[in-house]
Amino acid sequence: MDIRLYNARILTMERNRDIFWGEIWIKNDKIAYVAEADELRTDWNKSEIPRIPWDIQIDCRGNLLMPGFKDAHTHSGMTALRSYADDLPLDKWLNDRIFPMEVRLTGEDIYELSRLAILEYLTSGITSVFDMYLKPDAMAEACMDTGMRCVLVSGLNNFTSSVEQVEEEYLKWNRKNPLISYQLGFHAEYTCSKELMYNMAALAHRYQAPVYTHLAETEKEVEECKARYGMTPAMFLDTMGMFEFGGGGYHCVHMTEGDMDVFRKRRLYVITNPASNLKLASGIAPIAEYERRKIPVAIGTDGPASNNCLDMFREMFLVSALSKLREADAASLDALRVLRMATVHGAKAMRLNKADTLAKGKLADIIMLDLAQPNMQPIHNIPKNLVYSGSKSNVLMTMVGGRILYRNGEFHIGEDPLRIYENCNRIVKRMLSE
């Protein structure tokens, strides 16, 4: 498929490159050409461009093209539990409400519920997700069927899966489909035995692979780990050699200086989830401190049972605003840095190095944002508009791998959204009756 996106403002997210007028050409799943208007006039006769046998040409009408957002932590299949277990602290939310319902989910359920989440990701300009949930095969199939890009991460714990199964999935999904990749991980220190975590560390060493886990989400989690092992979760896991080859932690709200030293030394990513941390009263992560220590930060929504929406615009605003509040400094975190967290840093955290910026040879994971709406006017500073006043209503198009999956309010995923809604409501009704 040869696609031309022209008459656009373009934000490539490359360092030291400002927004410019130009166009992007796409061949199959890659970007073939990104050109500024002056370059086009120099390199091409105007009459030649329309003669290229384009499959699709889209006049962007001055709207913004940029890399899609990377949701660097989510649990897509939890759409079944949206608004089911609200207004509870994390331990009660998880143990009393979530775990008992999750045992009723089948692989077929998770496939359908994940497709519902994918619809929501697309409306938010999210082009890839870092998904940790039960039965990762079901999520992978949902993404392949809809055209969504996904990095699976194992949620190994004492109750589900095994290290052997994780290894099998790791080998399977890192060679099967270009939309799907797989990273090693486990749910959390507090849901895994010491033996299980040592076995995961051994697996990471076998493949020289990064490892990801929920980490320092609540004060209670940290204090209980210290009571068990005499150390914080990050420091304890580091003594096992868990992070020898990198990886990251989801949440990282309650981190000590020693924990931050581990993250800096091991080149780990903090993946922050501000809406979920607020809703579960877990706390406010010290994002500005991570930035000062040169610890890279990416952004995730967390799952739709704890957030409850999959909206990167809301997450970006909260990352910046909460940092300003925590630091008592309105200048503590600039909007462009937050935008990098939601795009470039997310791609790096997920090992999607071909999806971080808009440049020749990169994956054609592109979104178009409507600048003609009132919340984007006047155009003093587009990145600041996106972070401080942007919303899902500004998403005109979401493209993954050169395929337009969402445009002008319509989905192009090979399935009627109403059918997905009906199937998901049927699943929830059955679960509640069991």
Which is higher by pLDDT, 48 or 349? 349
By C-alpha distance, which of 309, 336, 315, 311 is closest to 394?
Answer: 311
pLDDT of 176 reads 79
Domain identity same for 379 and 335 = no
pLDDT higher than threshold 70 for residue 36: yes
The whole-angstrom distance between residue 275's C-alpha and the CA centroid of its chain comes to: 14
Is 424 a domain residue?
Answer: no
pLDDT of 38 reads 86
Compute the distance between CA of residue 411 and CA of residue 392 in angstroms, rounded to an integer: 14
CB atoms within 10 A of CB 409: 9
Is 380 a domain residue?
Answer: yes
pLDDT of 52 reads 82
Share of the chain above pLDDT 70, in %: 99
Domain identity same for 216 and 122 = yes
Q: How confident is the model at residue 402 (pLDDT cuts 50, 70, 90)?
A: very high
pLDDT of 46 reads 67
Give the tokens for residue 22.
């130009």
Mean pLDDT, residues 149-178 taken together: 95
Q: How confident is the model at residue 79 (pLDDT cuts 50, 70, 90)?
A: very high
By C-alpha distance, which of 94, 75, 72 is closest to 304?
Answer: 75
pLDDT of 3 reads 97
Domain stop point among 298, 322, 349: 349
What value does the mean pLDDT of the chain take? 96
Is 417 a domain residue?
Answer: no
Compute the distance between CA of residue 79 and CA of residue 89 in angstroms, rounded to an integer: 19
Secondary structure percentages of the chain, helix, strand, coil, to 5: 45, 20, 35
Is 356 a domain residue?
Answer: no
pTM score of the predicted model:
0.96
Paired strand residues for 56: 3
Is 430 a domain residue?
Answer: no
Domain identity same for 58 and 118 = no
Range of the domain at 192: 69-349
Domain identity same for 81 and 219 = yes
Domain identity same for 53 and 164 = no
pLDDT of 41 reads 80
pLDDT higher than threshold 90 for residue 170: yes
Is 433 a domain residue?
Answer: no
Domain identity same for 268 and 209 = yes
Is 113 a domain residue?
Answer: yes
Q: Are 382 and 11 in contact (CB under 8 A)?
A: yes
Domain identity same for 8 and 53 = yes
By C-alpha distance, which of 9, 126, 1 is closest to 59?
Answer: 9
Dihedral of the alpha carbons of 224, 230, 233, 239, in degrees to the nearest 10: -160
pLDDT higher than threshold 90 for residue 160: no
Least confident of 37-41, 66-70, 93-97, 353-357: 37-41
By C-alpha distance, which of 68, 66, 70 is closest to 12?
Answer: 66
Mean pLDDT, residues 215-232 taken together: 98
Domain stop point among 315, 349, 383: 349
CATH of the domain at 84: 3.20.20.140
Domain identity same for 185 and 325 = yes
For the stretch 257-264, contacts whose Cβ atoms lie closer than 8 Å and that sit 24 or more positions apart, written own/partner, are 258/232, 258/234, 259/216, 259/232, 259/233, 259/234, 259/235, 260/289, 260/290, 260/293, 260/295, 262/234, 262/235, 262/238, 263/234, 263/290, 263/293, 263/295, 264/293, 264/294, 264/295
Mean pLDDT, residues 387-407 taken together: 98
Query: For the segment 305-324, what is each residue's pLDDT rounded down to a tens digit?
Result: 999 999 999 999 999 999 99
Residue 412's Cβ-count burial label (10 Å; 0-12, 13-18, 19+) is: middle
Q: Are 90 and 218 in contact (CB under 8 A)?
A: yes
pLDDT of 90 reads 84
pLDDT of 47 reads 66
Domain identity same for 302 and 271 = yes
Residue 354's Cβ-count burial label (10 Å; 0-12, 13-18, 19+) is: middle
Mean pLDDT, residues 218-226 taken together: 97
CATH of the domain at 392: 2.30.40.10
Q: How confident is the model at residue 158 (pLDDT cuts 50, 70, 90)?
A: very high
Domain identity same for 163 and 283 = yes
By C-alpha distance, which of 164, 233, 241 is closest to 192?
Answer: 233
Domain identity same for 9 and 77 = no
pLDDT higher than threshold 90 for residue 50: no
- Quote the number of domains for the chain: 2
Task: Please state, in angstroms and as integers, the Cα–Cα distance from residue 424 to each residue in 114, 130, 139, 428, following that order.
Answer: 9, 22, 15, 6
Mean pLDDT, residues 243-258 taken together: 98
Is 269 a domain residue?
Answer: yes
Phi and psi at residue 105, to the nearest 5°: -80, 135
Domain identity same for 28 and 168 = no
Give the tokens for residue 187.
């749910």
